[in-house]
């Protein structure tokens, strides 16, 4: 059954409404498909790699995202001037903005993503839970409607049993969420949750869920075409998070049994079909120690961590998004796919793990990314470039593939050790800490890993100032001597060829 809405008209000119690594990622697949590409850029991004890499580029406004990458009019104007017949939103910015998806349709430009209705349905967490209930998708016990009063909320919490979570209906990603352990704290928590929801989302509605203790975050990649085919591409484990920001992801999860994987995959497909989903999306679940799984949210966009799924399935998710948006059928089912090996991803943020992951944006004086067999780096900045204060401080994503989880982890350690970044602190030492952490290596961890297992003092990093000096000294050193002298021998006996590496002292 083909959607009446879709008109199968191939693209030849795609505008990428984003910046950084995801813009480059989408441009690469477009160029591989011989498509003409259009970039948009804010003033400080004038000489950014994505601008140079696109066939043409349009300035859309000043640094502030609201006047540039979030300005749908400016982006649609660029589409009109470039004759773009499709817009790929990437992730973040306008990627989950239903009004933008509609504005694209009105402008006769394909929005490479789901229908506006699906974005809206999954954007409202109570509407999403209502649909999951009808679709029989397991959820944490709780309400599917907003709670009308504190009294009603207290009754429901009694029924569910403490601890409970009060969540914002318009929320997501942890914003507007309150854990309540005792009845006497409920009323206060409800007030604060409603207040925060109203201020953050302009919608003070909240709902209640049973609090799942020590959960893991496991999500399923979905692809749905306009011909009634919805498939899943297995799961990603994303439990290593700090303040609801993922730092390390992997595929597959080390804890799912084939049976639970099959069940969760079917639940994810049912979740997508329940809202008429099309294109690429992700269904997030919480999984407890007994492998009970509960629908949490559905992300209606391509995810940052999509490369780990690409590694283990061999599927280019952006290519599939473009094929689906051009009206093509997927042409395969989940059973035609299989998980090959294991993939790991480390997010390299310009953040200082020693000082509570404080952002550390600024000029990137030294940037030499690792490569080699089984290593992929999606970087959005380059040496001599800058990590701008206006946007997410992600420098790159390092993904490694191994025939099994241990091989992928050991390859990640090699890659992180090879990575040279100077003039700012990064999350590389934290990712290295995790890769060596006994519990992580054993696959025994939850969403509480960072809070419970990570103590910054364990890193004992070289101080950045000394690093800076070392980097400049090394630049001069190599310039003068071209490294023909014998290298210095570090404390662990290993040749310390370059002081740039932000590794932990042994
Ligand atoms: C939960 C939960 C426990 N029980 N819901 C956090 C953000 C949003 N994705 C939902 N989140 C949670 N919802 C119930 N019923 C725990 C979290 C949670 C969490 C989830 C995934 C990954 C990291 C997390 C960190 C804190 C809380």
User: Mind listing the pLDDT tens digit for each residue in 215-256?
Assistant: 999 999 999 999 999 999 999 999 999 999 999 999 999 999
Q: Is 260 exposed, middle or buried (0-12, 13-18, 19+ CB in 10 A)?
A: middle
Nearest-angstrom CA–CA distance, 77 and 107 = 10
Does 288 have pLDDT greater than 90?
A: yes
Across 39-43, 172-176, 407-411, 425-429, least confident range:
172-176
Angle at 45 between CA 42 and CA 46, to 5 degrees: 95
User: Mind listing the pLDDT tens digit for each residue in 311-332?
Assistant: 999 999 999 999 999 999 999 9
Across 27-41, 203-217, 298-312, 452-466, least confident range:
452-466
Across 60-64, 240-244, 454-458, least confident range:
454-458
Of 164, 447, 451, 452, which is best to mutate to test ligand 1, by the most ligand atoms within 8 angstroms of its C-beta? 447
Q: Does the Cβ of 420 fall within 6 Å of ligand 1?
A: no
Whole-number pLDDT of residue 497: 46
| Average pLDDT of span 467-481 | 64
Of 167, 176, 244, which is best to mutate to test ligand 1, by the most ligand atoms within 8 angstroms of its C-beta? 244
Q: Does the Cβ of 447 fall within 6 Å of ligand 1?
A: yes
Terminus-to-terminus CA distance in the chain, angstroms?
61
Per residue, the 3-state secondary structure of 54-79, as one string, reads: CCEEEEEECCCHHHCCCCHHHHHHHH
User: Mind listing the pLDDT tens digit for each residue in 89-111?
Assistant: 999 999 999 999 999 999 999 99
Q: What percent of the chain has pLDDT over 70?
A: 89
Could you identify the atom of ligand 1 that is nearest to the CA of residue 211?
4
Question: Residue 174 C-alpha to ligand 1 middle, in angstroms?
Answer: 7
* Phi and psi at residue 407, to the nearest 5°: -65, -40
Nearest-angstrom CA–CA distance, 338 and 140 = 29
Q: Does the Cβ of 217 fall within 6 Å of ligand 1?
A: yes
Three-class secondary structure of residue 131 per DSSP? helix
Does 337 have pLDDT greater than 70?
A: yes
Beta bridge partners of 281: 222
Residue 132: CB atoms within 10 A of its CB come to: 22
Residue 192: CB atoms within 10 A of its CB come to: 13
Question: Residue 66 C-alpha to ligand 1 middle, in angstroms?
Answer: 28
Q: Compute CA distances 210 → 140, 177, 206, 289, 309, whole Å.
A: 6, 13, 14, 16, 30
Q: What is the DSSP letter of 154?
A: H
Nearest-angstrom CA–CA distance, 471 and 421 = 9
Q: Give the confidence band of 466 by pLDDT, cuts at 50, 70, 90.
A: low
Q: Across all residues in the chain, what is the average pLDDT?
A: 92
Pick the residue whose CA is nearest to atom 6 on ligand 1. 174
Whole-number pLDDT of residue 486: 47
Question: Residue 341 C-alpha to ligand 1 middle, in angstroms?
Answer: 28
Q: Give the confidence band of 470 by pLDDT, cuts at 50, 70, 90.
A: low
Q: Does the Cβ of 293 fall within 6 Å of ligand 1?
A: no
Does 506 have pLDDT greater than 70?
A: no
Does 72 have pLDDT greater than 70?
A: yes
User: Mind listing the pLDDT tens digit for each residue in 157-211?
Assistant: 999 999 999 999 998 777 789 999 999 999 999 999 999 999 999 999 999 999 9
Does 489 have pLDDT greater than 50?
A: no
Could you identify the atom of ligand 1 that is nearest to the CA of residue 209?
15
| Average pLDDT of span 150-155 | 97
Pairing of strands 110-111, 375-379: unpaired
Three-class secondary structure of residue 327 per DSSP? coil
| Average pLDDT of span 418-424 | 90
Whole-number pLDDT of residue 371: 98
| Average pLDDT of span 101-122 | 97
Q: Which helix (DSSP H) or strand (DSSP E) does residue 179 occupy?
A: strand 178-180
Q: Does the Cβ of 408 fall within 6 Å of ligand 1?
A: no
Pick the residue whose CA is nearest to atom 15 on ligand 1. 211
Whole-number pLDDT of residue 488: 46
Beta bridge partners of 47: none
482 φψ region: left (φ > 0), alpha (ψ -120 to 50), beta (else): left
Tokens for 138, please give them. Answer: 């397991």
Nearest-angstrom CA–CA distance, 168 and 125 = 8
Q: Which helix (DSSP H) or strand (DSSP E) does residue 5 occupy?
A: none
Q: Give the confidence band of 460 by pLDDT, cuts at 50, 70, 90.
A: low
Nearest-angstrom CA–CA distance, 217 and 222 = 16
* Phi and psi at residue 51, to the nearest 5°: -70, -40
Does 350 have pLDDT greater than 90?
A: yes
Whole-number pLDDT of residue 458: 79
- 405 tagged catalytic: no
Q: Tell me the pTM.
A: 0.91
Pick the residue whose CA is nearest to atom 3 on ligand 1. 212
Contact (CB, 8 A) for 460 and 504: yes
Across 5-14, 167-176, 420-429, 440-449, least confident range:
5-14
Q: Does the Cβ of 398 fall within 6 Å of ligand 1?
A: no
Q: State whether the Cα torsion 163-246-372-463 is positive or negative.
A: negative
Closest to 87 in 3D by CA, of 435, 360, 74, 257: 74
| Average pLDDT of span 434-462 | 90
Q: Does the Cβ of 219 fall within 6 Å of ligand 1?
A: no
Angle at 370 between CA 309 and CA 47, to 5 degrees: 90
- The residue annotated as part of the active site, out of 178, 301, 347, 376, is 301
Question: Residue 212 C-alpha to ligand 1 middle, in angstroms?
Answer: 8
Q: Which residue has the tokens 């498909």?
A: 33
Q: Give the confidence band of 423 by pLDDT, cuts at 50, 70, 90.
A: confident
Per residue, the 3-state secondary structure of 224-270, as one string, reads: ECCCCCEEEEEEEEEEEEECCEEEEEEECCCCCCHHHHHHHHHHHHH
């Amino acid at each position: 059954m083909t959607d009446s809405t879709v008109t199968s008209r191939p693209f030849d000119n795609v505008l990428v409404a984003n910046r950084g690594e995801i813009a480059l990622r989408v441009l690469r697949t477009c160029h591989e498909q011989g498509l003409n590409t259009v970039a948009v850029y804010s003033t400080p991004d004038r000489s950014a790699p994505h601008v140079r890499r696109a066939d043409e580029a349009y300035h859309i406004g000043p640094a502030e995202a609201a006047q540039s990458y979030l300005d749908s009019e400016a982006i649609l104007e660029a589409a009109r001037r470039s004759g773009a017949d499709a817009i790929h939103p990437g992730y973040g910015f306008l990627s989950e903005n239903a009004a933008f998806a509609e504005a694209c349709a009105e402008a006769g430009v394909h929005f490479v993503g789901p229908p506006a209705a699906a974005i809206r349905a999954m954007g409202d967490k109570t509407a999403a839970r209502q649909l999951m209930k009808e679709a029989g998708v397991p959820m944490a016990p709780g309400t599917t409607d907003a709670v009308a009063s504190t009294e009603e909320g207290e009754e429901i919490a009694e029924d569910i049993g403490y601890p409970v979570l009060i969540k914002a209906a318009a929320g997501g990603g942890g914003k507007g969420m309150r854990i309540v352990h005792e009845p006497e704290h409920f009323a206060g928590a409800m007030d604060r949750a409603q207040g925060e929801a109203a201020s953050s989302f302009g919608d003070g509605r909240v709902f209640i869920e049973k609090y799942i203790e020590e959960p893991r975050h496991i999500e399923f990649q979905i692809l749905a075409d306009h011909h009634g085919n919805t498939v899943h591409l297995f799961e990603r484990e994303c439990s290593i998070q700090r303040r609801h920001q993922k730092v390390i992801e992997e595929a597959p999860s080390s804890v799912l049994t084939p049976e639970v994987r099959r069940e969760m995959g079917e639940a994810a497909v049912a979740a997508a079909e329940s809202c008429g989903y099309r294109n690429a999306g992700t269904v997030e679940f919480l999984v407890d120690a007994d492998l009970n799984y509960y629908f949490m949210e559905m992300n209606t966009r391509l995810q940052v961590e999509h490369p780990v799924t690409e590694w283990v399935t061999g599927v280019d998710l952006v290519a599939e998004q473009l094929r689906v948006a051009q009206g093509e059928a997927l042409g395969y089912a989940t059973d035609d796919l299989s998980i090959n090996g294991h993939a790991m991803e480390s997010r390299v943020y310009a953040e200082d793990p020693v000082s509570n992951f404080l952002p550390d944006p600024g000029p990137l004086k030294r940037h030499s990314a690792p490569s080699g067999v089984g290593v992929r780096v999606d970087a959005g900045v380059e040496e001599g470039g800058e990590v701008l204060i206006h946007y997410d401080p992600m420098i790159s994503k390092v993904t490694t593939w191994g025939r099994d989880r241990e091989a992928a982890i050991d390859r990640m350690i090699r890659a992180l050790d090879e990575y040279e970044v100077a003039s700012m602190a990064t999350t590389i030492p934290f990712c290295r800490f995790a890769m060596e952490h006994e519990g992580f290596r054993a696959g025994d961890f939850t969403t509480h890993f960072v809070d419970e297992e990570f103590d910054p003092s364990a890193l004992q990093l070289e101080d950045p100032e000394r690093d800076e000096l070392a980097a400049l000294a090394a630049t001069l050193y190599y310039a003068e001597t071209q490294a023909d002298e014998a290298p210095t021998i570090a404390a662990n006996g290993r040749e310390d060829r370059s002081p740039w590496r932000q590794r932990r002292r042994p």
